[in-house]
A and B are shown apart, each in its own frame.
Chain A
Amino acid sequence: MILSDEEINALLKAALAEVRIGPDSAIVLEGSLAEGFGNKNSDIDFLVIEDREYDSFLIPILIFAEGRRIEVRVRSCGEIRREIQRVLGEAAHGAVSYDEIDRVQRLAHAYVLQSSTALEQLRADLAEERLRAAVSSWFRQLTLSSIGCASSMLALRQDAEAARWVRTALEQAAKTWLSEHGETYIGAKWTSLQFARLGERADINAKFYDLASPARAEMKDSEYVAACFELISELLTGDPAAIAIDTQPCRLQRLKKDITTWQIGERLHIVYDGRVYVPDRVAAQVWRSLDFLEPASTVVSSVPDVPEDVAGHVVAEFHRLGLVGVTWNGQPITIRGRTPAPTLLRQPMLSIRGAEFPATESGTVWCLPISANQFAAAGLVLVWANAEVENSREDALGAIDAGQWRTLESAVRRMARKSSVVILSANGIAALPSEGAWDGRRRTGEGRLSGTSWQRREADEESCLRLRSLPGVPAGLVTALVDLETSGGVASKEEAERLLSATDDAIARVRDVTAGSLFPSSFVTREEWRETLELIYDWVRLGAYVDSAFPLEEAHDVVASGAATRA
């Protein structure tokens, strides 16, 4: 050890001045220094073992003394005994965490400063042979998981990712081999010293550092993976089948029944766990080509018009997002972890055609910043408001014809408000269906996105004003809509026509800021109107999925009756 007993005792004395410990406690120095590694910057880790059964907090007490950082952990012999039993019993089954096995290993190789009967018993439980067996099988499990992940990435034609995973597998295989030979330290930082201390098989040490060092010559990723696999096979005796490079046992797995796909027009929306994932055209193509029965390598090589490395990249991303599972030899690959998709930040966020996203071809999958509920509600509000603008315009034309100026003003007010609703909902802002209040016997109020809501059909009192708090909408447009909403006093046909013309201008500008969402039928061909109608049916279906109480048939009727007037 690089520290003398005097130095250690001085550090311990400084630590004990800050920490109260129970009588008859044992004290040990553990970690890098006790293992015979470390340097002058290494932490000083003391473990105090009190003679009691109940559990302690695992957070260490930090002390700075003699220019060093000292950590003191105080634990009970009961909890340590239980942990030793668990780790030695379970390590081979992969159910033991890094911290658990690390704590047990550190105690086994600790430097005793003050012993106790309890400590002697604990150390007797930790026989060297049992520890080696536990640590090596723990690392073996990890190695096989990393190999599975590396092989899966190879099957998905993701060589760079495979190279990174196989490097990890190599480190873990080295630790397996080292622990089988008595070097059980868990952390990766002293591996070179472990090899040196062991002094056996310098060839393995050399090969290992050849491959594990960052500058791995001019090797291609695929060559690197092959070289690593070769050394891993040498280190990990007894598992030749698991280490062979074979992409066949990699398959994709349908994870859950509630990962669902909803197409609005041509755009896909994957709904899972309350979120909406939006694949670009390439990612959508891959999603539609997923096959859970064929080997993953076959799946990625059979996506029409998408190169297999791109398809593999997309599938790897689906796996990362938790949208598909990947198995290796029937075992699910879980060590990659689940991470979120990049958030799609756009204005407008959606249009009548679904989520709005950049027209990339890179196989990107985005996640919308609003929940699936909000998305569906906003889409439905948008299509309803769209229809209301259209209806009101018909009303306005009729009113001008008949000289009904107050009816015209009412129609213009609705057009201004509903156009504002289109802008708001295209930005994801829409009222969610509420359950209504509970009056003790039943729910009151309509609440839900029903086809008869007064709010939906007539009011939206605050929609024009709300635009003021939505960044990105041209101020002139907001002013125009607020002015139209409050316009009145029409007394002649000329004034009426001027008002309608101003309204049409505003509507055209709304169309510009909502990705063409405002789509009055009078501006479009019969074919375009049919397509619009189909989009509305698609929105309605998604709405019914995310809200099980959504009145699907009634909504259908509303769409149908709206359509019938234009057919």
Chain B
Amino acid sequence: MLNSGRCVEMAREFTPGDAKPGEVQWVELRLTEPRLGMSESLYKKLGKAVDLVVHAAAITDFGRPREIYQAVNVRGTLRILEFATGAELPLLHVSTAYVCGERAGVVKEEDLQFGQRFGNPYEESKFQAEELVKSAGRPAVIVRPSIIVGTERTGQTRDFRHLFPVLKVMTTGRLRTMPGKYGALLDLVPTDYVAEVISASVARFPELVGRTLHAVNGEPLSFRQLSDELAAYPQFLMPRFVPRANFKAADLPRHQKPFYDQLISLYDTYFNRRVHFDDTLTRELMGSRRPPSSSVLLRRLLEYCLDVGYLGAKRTTATALPMRTYLGGAPVSGPSLSGLSLSGPSLSAAGVSR
């Protein structure tokens, strides 16, 4: 909504029958509890108050036990589906482009099952969630973002997760050697572009029912480009990538090994993949609206990270905007399990796109 030029004021807690046109209200849900953690009456009232469910809540961190992904990402989606079915609501399900697992080559938007091997239990759980959505019989649209990073113009990011700690370990020289291919591709997509794809999908929901959209960059970043970009910053070290077959974690110097074991090993599946996400349908939907290429976006992320002192030297003065400005005053939910986005009556259809 911020991106579409709307002014978002401090959201109020959901009050049945009280929503004004254009207003954002919030309600805390628990994906792991029956009725999403709501009272029976609130559960019913919420079902009547909205006309579309956008399900974006998931555990996206890596390295957790498989059971957590199953509980939140798979059974949580099942509960959302129950809610949508009970209230006869359509569903926009936010998945991940990496449901393709370790498959290489071009992955199309309609592709889901190819007997793929998954890089981690997160990918597996998102794959299973997609299967549940497809078989539930609700009118549904699936949006699959790739690697969501900061905002496209400033690289600003709310929380430094996923790519960011990896960049930190790489650029600070905490790990000098990692397994990877210079030809591996990372598809980085800015948060605002993903939000716009979701908004546009909501706006044109009826014609998209049953379809899947890749909210991806389309111009991925190779590790060769990544290391070229990092080389342009004097203060950044750059790890050497060595073929996986030749990499032995046991050979790492003692002070480097923990960074591999505890962080990089969770991601090294992505350092060896060469996958290209086809986004024909998304391009049709978005028209001329394209995100900047992954390498341009990376540069903005790096500048932002330097600016706020996440990478490089600690800043004596942070020049980045305070987080609340960025969030437009919406409550910061943190990594809790609440995340059901609401499209109130006034926001249905064209509501989010002015």
Contact = CB atoms under 8 A, between A and B. Distances in A.
A-B complex is real: yes
Interface residues of B, number: 30
Nearest to B237: A263
B272 to A, nearest CB: 12
Interface string A308-340: 000000000000000010000000000000000
Given A293-B307, A298-B316, A560-B246, A530 B251 contact: yes
Given A257-B232, A288-B235, A564-B246, A552 B182 contact: yes
Contacts of A537: 177, 240-242
A557 B241 CA distance: 12
Interface string B236-248: 1110111101100
A293 B316 CA distance: 10
Interface stretch (A60-68, A378-386, A430-438, A538-546): A538-546
B354 interface: no
B106 interface: no
B182 A544 contact: yes
B241 to A, nearest CB: 8
Contact of A260 (B176, B228, B235): B228
Interface string A251-270: 00010011111110000001
Contacts of B251: 530
B306 interface: yes
A260 B319 CA distance: 26
Contacts of B177: 534, 537
B283 to A, nearest CB: 29
A290 B235 contact: yes
Contacts of A59: none
A291 B235 contact: yes
Contacts of A560: 242-243, 245-246
A294 B245 contact: no
Contact of B238 (A254, A263, A292): A263
A57 B227 CA distance: 52
Given A260-B232, A291-B312, A534-B177, A556 B227 contact: no
Contacts of A538: 240
Given A261-B231, A291-B235, A552-B224, A541 B240 contact: yes
B75 interface: no
A293 B319 contact: yes
The DSSP consensus for interface residues of chain B is: loop
A293 B306 contact: yes
A553 interface: yes
A302 interface: yes
Interface residues of A, number: 37
A260 B316 CA distance: 26
B181 A553 contact: yes
A524 B312 CA distance: 37
B240 A534 contact: yes
B183 interface: yes
Nearest to A538: B240
B224 A544 contact: yes
Given A541-B240, A544-B182, A302 B313 contact: yes
A60 B312 CA distance: 57
A258 B240 contact: no
Contacts of B241: 537
Interface in B146-187: 176-177, 181-183
A259 B228 CA distance: 10
A256 to B, nearest CB: 8
Nearest to B312: A291
Interface in B110-149: none
Given A293-B306, A293-B315, A541-B227, A556 B234 contact: no
A560 B245 CA distance: 8
Contact of B313 (A260, A291, A552, A557): A291
A287 interface: yes
Contacts of A557: 243
A289 interface: yes
A563 interface: yes
A294 B231 contact: no
A530 B313 CA distance: 31
B22 to A, nearest CB: 39
A432 B234 CA distance: 27
B319 A564 contact: no
Contact of B231 (A262, A291, A324, A530): A262
Contact of B316 (A254, A294, A556, A563): A294
B182 A294 contact: no
Contacts of A293: 306-307, 315, 319
Contacts of A259: 232, 234
Contacts of B245: 560, 564
B308 to A, nearest CB: 10
B85 to A, nearest CB: 49
A241 interface: no
A567 interface: yes
A383 to B, nearest CB: 14
B234 A290 contact: yes
Nearest to B247: A560
Nearest to B244: A560
Contacts of A263: 237-238
A324 B307 CA distance: 18
A484 to B, nearest CB: 33
Interface string A384-416: 000000000000000000000000000000000
B232 A258 contact: yes
A553 B183 contact: yes
A20 B265 CA distance: 85
A257 B234 CA distance: 11
A246 to B, nearest CB: 17
Given A288-B234, A291-B313, A545 B240 contact: no
B235 A289 contact: yes
A257 B233 CA distance: 8
Nearest to B252: A530
A290 B231 CA distance: 13
B300 to A, nearest CB: 13
Given A541-B240, A553-B182, A261 B306 contact: no
Question: Which of B228, B234, B240, B246 gathers most chain A CB within 10 Å?
Answer: B234
Contacts of B182: 541, 544, 552-553, 556
Contacts of B234: 254, 259, 261, 270, 287-288, 290, 324
A510 to B, nearest CB: 27
Contacts of B243: 556-557, 560
Given A261-B231, A302-B313, 14 more contacts: A257-B232, A258-B232, A270-B234, A289-B313, A290-B235, A293-B315, A294-B313, A298-B316, A541-B227, A544-B182, A553-B183, A556-B242, A560-B245, A563-B246
17 contacts: A254-B233, A257-B232, A261-B231, A261-B238, A288-B234, A292-B306, A293-B307, A293-B315, A294-B315, A534-B176, A537-B240, A537-B241, A538-B240, A544-B182, A552-B182, A560-B242, A567-B246
Interface of A: 254, 257-263, 270, 287-294, 298, 302, 324, 530, 533-534, 537-538, 541, 544-545, 552-553, 556-557, 559-560, 563-564, 567
Interface of B: 176-177, 181-183, 224, 227-228, 231-238, 240-243, 245-246, 251, 306-307, 312-313, 315-316, 319
> Which 6 A-B residue pairings sit nearest by Cβ, starting from the closest?
A260-B231, A560-B243, A290-B234, A537-B240, A291-B313, A560-B246
